[in-house]
Structure 1
Amino acid sequence: MHAGRCPRHVTPRGRGVPSPRGAAQPCCAPIAVQRKPPPAKAAIRDALDLLIVADLLDIAAAVLAVVFVRALTRMQRLKAAAPPLASTELPLKQLDAGRM
Structure 2
Amino acid sequence: MACEMIEQQRKQKALEAARRAILTGAATLERNPLTGKTSLRGLSQSDRGGMSDACIIAGVAKLAAMNPALNAAYTRAGINPAAAIKAHDHAHAHGHAH
Regarding TM over 0.5, the answer is no
Point out the structure with the larger strand share: 2
Larger Rg: 1
Q: Which has the higher contact order (CA 8 A, sep 6+)?
A: 2
Point out the structure with the larger helix share: 2
User: TM-score w.r.t. structure 1 length?
Assistant: 0.18
User: TM-score w.r.t. structure 2 length?
Assistant: 0.18
